[in-house]
Amino acid sequence: MKYALFAFFQKVIAFFAALFMLAGPSAAPTDHPETDLPADSVSAYDPAAADYRLFADASSPAHDISDLLFGAFFEDINFAGDGGLYAEMVSNRSFEFTTLAAGDGLFGYSSVNGASLSLTSDASRGLNVNNPTFVTVRNDAEEPAGIANRGWMEGMAVKAGEPYRFSVYARSADYAGALSVRIAAGNKTVAAAEISSVSADWQKYTVELDCTETANEQVTVQVLIDKGAVDLDMVSLFPVHTYGGRENGLRNDLVDALAAMRPKFLRFPGGCVIEGESKETAYHWKDSVGADENGEPLLWNGVYGDVAARRQGIDLWTDLGASEDPYPSFMSYGLGFYEFFQLCEDIGAAPVPVLTAGLYCQMRGKPAVDMDSDEFRADVQDMLDLIEFANGDAATKWGAVRASMGHPAPFGLKMVAVGNENEGQVYFERYAAFLDALHQAQAERPEIYGGVEMIFSSGASDGLNGGMYLPSYQFAKDYIGDGDVSDFAAATDHHYYQSPEWFLQNADYYDPGNYSRTTDRMTDTVYGGAIPVFLGEYAARSNTLYAALAEAAYMTGLERNGDIVKMASYAPLFASTTARHWAPDLIWFNNAEVRPSVNYEVQKLFSVNTGSALLKSTMIGAKVPQKNLSGRVGVGTWYTEAEFDNLLVVNNTTGETILQDAFSIPNFRWNWQNPNGGNFKISGGVLRHEGTDMNYSDIGDVAYYGTDNGMTNYTYRIDAKKTDGEEGFLIPFAVQDQDNGYFWNLGGWQNTISCLQRIENGVKTGQILKTVSDFTVETGKTYHLKIVVRGTRIKCYADDRLLIDYDTANPAEATAYQVVSQDNNGNVIIKLVNVTEQKKTFAVRLNGFDPTGRECEYTSLTGESMEAEEGVVASGKLDLNDSSFNFTAAPRSVTVIRFN
């Protein structure tokens, strides 16, 4: 009995010791000078010598982590498709470019040795209804002449010793000579072949060209004829060595970079591109496998899906207002949905196709498709047909198309995203219509549609306490009712692009205290629900090491919350270095090389080293002390004319007047600064902003009072009256300089809301920090405004009505971040992010884990400076046989430590 009692107390003592270890000491360790230990090194466990103390418990995992957590998003932007991943080297191969391109249908082509080039667009004479335009090459001279194509953007690139596959459709009723095909670098021929003759009817001809030299400037592919005339279409040049050796293939180097990330899913093809600005510019998936004008499969030359039977599209990202865009973005659809599913299968990624919800691009203010129209019904049917294309057997209509293209077995599609960055009631109604159609199809044909789930958009306003997320979740909650969440959505799609600072300050974005796991806890401070999250697009706005570190810090939070965050993908994926529509991007390329960004290295580190279960962990000593708000005050407008009066700033503690201006002295320049040139002046005893035009900046037309950036703990009062315009007032406060501060937006978003916003480095961060959606500024009415700044807290009143109550403290902001997980083999994975300029030592203690017999390895990423656009990746083994140790991380670094 005594022995049993003794053993019991031993267990109790051990239990509380473990709890103490997890909680760590109550006081943070003192700051240490930078260690003399080398980076990426281990030493004996010594908390007193460490900057941070990290405790983790491997004895009982906290929860599972999604097996789809880190993936990739391919958007057809930045020439990511044609001219990029798609290995076709000829631009405008089908002569279908429009007046948006310089040279129209001859964009990218030129005459060789004086040949005449003329276009004909006639479906009855062209290849087919989807490819009606062809070129007639006429040579009236005695010397060979013809046509040349210069390729994409900076041109073609070829390598010595590499074979290239050339193909063309040709015909001629009376030409009896040969077609001479050559690759030229300037005036020098580096590869040549010959097609001996052409028939009177359209026929495809293919030859292989062996290149003798490496060149990436002034390279063209040319087709020359003797005297006479020949019709040509679908002029094409591919490397023979595409990914998987496929004739209609993808660039090896770009797929290799993508595959090295081991993405668990791949979202495709957009993005705004799927919506378009009109029916003509929307992405139609059936065009990517060959369909007629009625959306039915087009059988051509006895097969479905031939690239010559795919209708060309206009990419949303081309300059739709230009008559001669130097780099027009059209979609040949050579990289279509079949190739997308094939790629996902090749690299082991789950496909996540995105389809229109019957809405043109809301971000551009475009209209919705009428739900009673044939067009909307076709949009819904397109979703059902895509699922059949992916999952149906060869006996189904669209399954037969897939089988004809060379893939008899179904692809096994599980998710379809309906809509991109869509929001509001107009989207909710359409999503419900798509969902009802899917449910009906699942009941009727479970062998095809069973197990397929839709992904629901929550818009692109990321405010944790505002934007469109709350209405989206309320709609979801109402629709689900007492039903199963999986019947509504596989996940809800979040998008945001923010500053590095925002990501550092919001690493706890999806923590349970901020993001609910149940549908009955949605308020203006905690939102969410049981629907998993698909973070479909995010990035820290630059391709610098600082941005990459911020993303890494945020990704520790994504992995820590891998129970509710199902998928996450940086965006966009690929971008041409010569011509781009958007930056930053993950992988840069030109005609000859691939340049992964430093952000890519972070994505790769996390994706390759994702755990399957989270281990409970805590770190002591990394939290950043929160600074009290301080800075100047001001006034401003957004496309609005207004008057301001009775400015008063008093100290909250003493009641002392700090600033006061009744605008009785008509000299604006004495006390005011308007850095972006708004039309402000003092007259008639008020400060006026005249005119409803705006000298556009991200912070509107504003003026700042005084020069005291250190003013803190104050109440700011100002009277404001709108005299004309679209919106209301912007009231700056806690302004450090023209690029950093806060402002209260009254009458924003077309005079509908009151919200709090922040400016960091000249850019809005967080967009909406706090929102009240029922505020409208009336013209001619004087509003008595009051802003109370106390410590890190802000309260804003209009006519004594409290509209804003927000604490700016960022409990997630730290100098270091961590997450600890375990994979299915019991391997412990520690991720450490050091966002300081110094080496930092982590005292790591793993409870319930025996490293004996396990090999310990590390991989780290760092760089020479926070502004560096490249990083250095190092890896090696660590001599560790103890579950407690000190690890010294390099400055500006991300490190993964694995016990295998």
Instruction: Check: CB of residue 385 under 8 Å from CB of residue 396.
Output: no
Interatomic CA distance for residues 705 and 575, integer angstroms: 43
The pLDDT of 204-210, averaged and rounded, is: 97
pLDDT at 772: 65
DSSP string spanning 624-635? PPPPPPB-BEEE
The pLDDT of 416-443, averaged and rounded, is: 95
Return the exposure string of 341-350: e unless at least 16 CB atoms fall within 10 Å of the residue's CB, then b: bbbbeebebb
Backbone angles phi, psi at 318, to 5 degrees: -70, 165
- The phi-psi region of residue 101 (left if phi > 0; otherwise alpha if psi is between -120 and 50; otherwise beta) is beta
What are the E-state strand segments in 444-512? 453-457, 491-497
Q: Summarize pLDDT for 307-364 with one digit per residue, the tens.
A: 999 999 988 887 655 556 678 888 999 999 999 999 999 999 999 999 999 999 888 8
Calculate what percentage of the chain has a pLDDT beyond 90.
Answer: 70
Active site residue 421: yes
Alpha carbon 166 to its chain centroid, in Å, reads 35
Position 236 pLDDT exceeds 50: yes
Q: Summarize pLDDT for 453-468 with one digit per residue, the tens.
A: 999 998 886 654 445 6
What is the spatial order of strands in the sheet that 179-185 belongs to?
A: 109-112, 145-149, 219-225, 179-185, 188-195
In sequence order, the 6+-apart residues with CB closer than 8 A to the CB of 460 are 363, 421, 423, 468, 495, 496, 537
Position 559 pLDDT exceeds 80: yes
Position 452 pLDDT exceeds 90: yes
How high is the mean pLDDT of the chain?
89
**What 8-state DSSP symbol labels residue 880?**
-
Interatomic CA distance for residues 319 and 326, integer angstroms: 9
Position 12 pLDDT exceeds 60: no
Instruction: Check: CB of residue 895 under 8 Å from CB of residue 831.
Output: yes
pLDDT at 30: 44
Interatomic CA distance for residues 599 and 577, integer angstroms: 16
Q: Which of 421, 643, 760, 869 is catalytic?
A: 421
Position 690 pLDDT exceeds 50: yes
Consecutive H or E run containing 435: helix 425-444
Q: How many CB atoms lie within 10 A of CB 427?
A: 26
Calculate what percentage of the chain has a pLDDT beyond 70.
Answer: 90
**What 8-state DSSP symbol labels residue 900?**
-
Enumerate helices (H) and strands (E) in the chain, giving the number of each.
13, 54
CA-based torsion, 378, 380, 381, 386: positive or negative: positive
pLDDT at 517: 82
**What 8-state DSSP symbol labels residue 86?**
B
The pLDDT of 823-844, averaged and rounded, is: 96
| Secondary structure, 3-state, 746-766 | EEHHHHCEEEEEEEECCEEEE
pLDDT at 467: 55
What amino acid is encoded at 538 in this protein?
Y
Identify any residues that bridge with 415 across adjacent strands, giving them in sequence order.
453
Closest among 258, 206, 818 to 557, alpha carbons compared = 818
pLDDT at 528: 61
> What's the predicted TM-score (pTM) here?
0.86
Could you check whether the bond before residue 410 is cis, i.e. omega within 30 degrees of 0? no
Instruction: Check: CB of residue 42 under 8 Å from CB of residue 885.
Output: yes
Position 26 pLDDT exceeds 60: no
Q: How many CB atoms lie within 10 A of CB 693?
A: 12
Position 240 pLDDT exceeds 50: yes
Position 426 pLDDT exceeds 80: yes
Position 23 pLDDT exceeds 70: no
Angle between helices 598-608 and 545-560 (to 10 degrees): 20
Runs of H (alpha helix) within 563-714: 598-608, 668-671
pLDDT at 460: 80
Q: Summarize pLDDT for 163-196 with one digit per residue, the tens.
A: 999 999 999 999 999 999 999 999 999 999 999 9
Interatomic CA distance for residues 317 and 580, integer angstroms: 9
pLDDT at 454: 97
pLDDT at 627: 86
pLDDT at 280: 86
pLDDT at 465: 45
Q: How many CB atoms lie within 10 A of CB 510?
A: 24
Position 765 pLDDT exceeds 90: no
CA distances to 388, 433, 623, 869 from 294, rounded to whole Å, are 17, 22, 60, 48
Interatomic CA distance for residues 170 and 154, integer angstroms: 28
Q: Which two tokens stand for residue 516?
A: 């609910």
| Secondary structure, 3-state, 79-132 | CCCECCCECCCCCCCCCCCCCCECCHHHCCEEEECCCEEEEEECCCCCCECCEC
